[in-house]
Amino acid sequence: MNPPYLLPLVEVVRGAKTSDKTVNIVRHFLTSLKKKPILCKDTPGFIVNRMQSALLVEALSLVEQGIATMEDIDTAWTQHLGLRYCHIGPFEAMDSFGLDTELSQYSYLYEKLEETKFRPPDLLKRKVKNRELGLKTGKGFYDYTGKNIDNIIKEKDRQFIELLRLLKIKH
């Protein structure tokens, strides 16, 4: 990840013949360097580049279609999306929003824009069908059984406020 001397994440790519022993040695070594290893199958783009590419292609598309300016898209990121996603991952975020809400959003975008990238994923549809809607039901992508949901929300809010304070952004 660039710049590697600042960012802690390292994608450990597991090839078809990579042993568990090798993966464990690499993870242990990276952890000893104060890095945060994540595991990924050997696939084009791995994790970060594929997620980043999806975001950047959509940003370019919004500008190309005249929907928003580059500056407004950058502001949307620096004043909202980037702030949210620097302390909560996409699956935690979906659990917070409600998986039924996410499914409705994707269904709406897919119907209105007729673009396959917005077709609701089967995994999301299964979760909603099983009433695993996230924080509001105690289970979504993550299981919150036995956890105090109000405390989870308060802690995320506290982290968000601390981030805004550190970045000197008024809330």
Q: Note whether 143 and 63 are same-domain residues.
A: yes
Do both 29 and 94 map to the same domain? Answer: no
**By CB neighbour count within 10 A (0-12 exposed, 13-18 middle, 19+ buried), where does 34 fall?**
exposed
Q: Is residue 3 part of a domain?
A: no
> Do 98 and 23 belong to one domain?
no
Quick one: 148 and 84 in the same domain? yes
* Tens-digit pLDDT profile for residues 26-61: 999 999 999 999 999 999 999 999 999 999 999 999
What total number of domains does the chain contain?
Answer: 2
Are 66 and 125 part of one and the same domain? yes
Domain membership flag for residue 171: no
Whether 131 has a pLDDT exceeding 80, the answer reads yes
Q: Label residue 171 by pLDDT band (50, 70, 90).
A: low
Residues 6+ apart with CB under 8 A from 96: 88, 134, 135, 153, 156
DSSP letter string, 127-147? HHHTT--BTTTTBSSSB-TTS
Q: Please report where in the chains the tokens 């289970």 appear, as a residue.
A: 139
Residue 101 and residue 82 share a domain: yes
**Residue span of the structural domain in which 31 resides:** 9-41
93 and 26 belong to one structural domain? no
User: Nearest CA to 42 among 16, 21, 60, 19?
Assistant: 16
Same domain, 155 and 121: yes
Spell out the residues 6+ positions from residue 110 whose beta carbon is closer than 8 angstroms to its own: 116, 118, 119, 120
In this predicted structure, the answer to whether residue 169 has a pLDDT above a threshold of 90 is no
- Asked if 65 and 25 sit in the same domain, the reply is no
In a domain, 68, yes or no: yes
Are 112 and 130 within one domain? Answer: yes
pTM above 0.75, yes or no: yes
49-94: pLDDT as tens digits: 999 999 999 999 999 999 999 999 999 999 999 988 988 999 999 9
